[in-house]
A and B are shown apart, each in its own frame.
Chain A
């Protein structure tokens, strides 16, 4: 009696396994991901308009691009909001499939991960108080500079002006609060979030001269070469179809984008 019960149970388990495997096979994506059928992206949702929290979910240029990529690859998008500094480590260790967070391709980062083709141009600008005597990037020497920790602005400023003059905040909003509170004399940050911060805050302005221009790309683990190729293909398609521009325009007005094109 007991034996019969056990064999029935075993048969049931076997059948369940077979069914579930076939079910997975049917939905399987052309590329392998960390989680079957899901594109896990890592971002730091404190960087408007590229990525930010909206309601219960996330929004921004990067989020929408990632959504378009996931759609093209037949995957479900899953956004993981992590510290900016943890994105590359997470992608490298296989926790996430890709990192997309207004991230610039640098030599150093290339040692740990691969980068996709550029999907957007980022400009590091300088925010100051309206009555500030800082006019150009050259005036930053010896001044207190606020940055978001681990961003390119942070890395460049530490190199150009010395670690001791750079105060690293955990996100851009805190850096701007630090500027308002007078803890720092200026904030070096990406142009797009800078516009949002200045628009939202009285008494701040962005200097006309840019600090650095950089190209944003998606980071992917070195092992995932098929995913890299697939993503580059999707980026190309998005650019050609005009979808990419559509997404950018949705968050940034056309006029500003034109300015950026000129400065290039």
Chain B
């Protein structure tokens, strides 16, 4: 038993203390968080734009078609582009998108973290767009009618009436996307970025210990996700409360 414990302590020392290898884990964790947070920001902005175009077309397209004119043509082209974007991004693995971004599209960007942020941001944008769209679609049509009847135009109705309600609806799902995204960024190592998973790999490559680095990496992800899930529960509780009031 003591022997087993000693060997465990020895492994721990080799994996994390020797050569300050814990610093890799810390750096990796930092990069994982940076990539996730900024990618989600890009995702939300992109998602709002795509969702706005798509739901405008869904809800308003018929009326605009009757009126015709350049606005309708723009909307149709925009809707087509958005659909193409969603199909391509959701139809291909994120790791392939990341490599295409790194080796082909953003060839001049040497900062791997930045490339990862952009790639994951665009990927996340596609999923966030559908989250927002379903949120907008979940709002009772009567809300749009009420807004329009008061004289708000479509965009004003969206901004003042629909989106504030939709945000409440999608907040839990959006938060869930954050949790998914954290785990998805574990492929950032494919483009030479030192994220949490890669830090574990690096320790594994140096020490040839599989157990300790892998479990340490898993544990860190797990702790982050557990914390975020707790926060999500609190948010959900608050939202339910404000509905009942």
Contacts from A to B (Cβ < 8 Å): 83-86, 88-89, 92-93, 108-109, 111-113, 144, 146, 149-150, 154-155, 163, 167-170, 174, 177-178, 181-184
Contact = CB atoms under 8 A, between A and B. Distances in A.
A188 to B, nearest CB: 14
Given A163-B24, A168-B198, A181 B204 contact: no
A181 B205 contact: no
A150 B206 contact: yes
B103 interface: yes
A111 B192 CA distance: 28
B205 A112 contact: no
B15 to A, nearest CB: 12
Interface of A is mostly: mixed
Chain B CB within 10 A, most for which of A93, A150, A183 = A183
Contacts of B189: 149, 168, 170
B208 A112 contact: yes
Interface string B189-218: 110101000100110111111100000000
Contacts of A109: 208
Chain B CB within 10 A, most for which of A84, A154, A168, A184 = A168
20 contacts: A85-B204, A85-B205, A86-B210, A89-B210, A92-B208, A93-B210, A108-B208, A109-B208, A111-B14, A112-B208, A146-B192, A150-B201, A163-B194, A170-B189, A177-B103, A178-B103, A182-B108, A182-B110, A183-B112, A184-B110
A11 B189 CA distance: 57
Contacts of B209: 89, 112
A112 B204 CA distance: 12
Chain A CB within 10 A, most for which of B206, B208, B209, B210 = B208
Chain A CB within 10 A, most for which of B103, B108, B112 = B103
A85 B108 CA distance: 29
A144 B111 CA distance: 11
Given A113-B208, A168-B192, A85 B201 contact: yes
B192 A86 contact: no
Contact of B208 (A88, A177, A181): A88
Contacts of B204: 85-86, 89, 150
Contacts of B112: 167, 183
B101 to A, nearest CB: 11
B132 interface: no
B205 A108 contact: no
B223 interface: no
B108 A150 contact: no
A132 to B, nearest CB: 15
Given A88-B208, A170-B189, 5 more contacts: A108-B208, A109-B208, A150-B201, A178-B103, A178-B192
Interface string B148-160: 0000000000000
Contacts of B205: 84-85, 149-150, 154
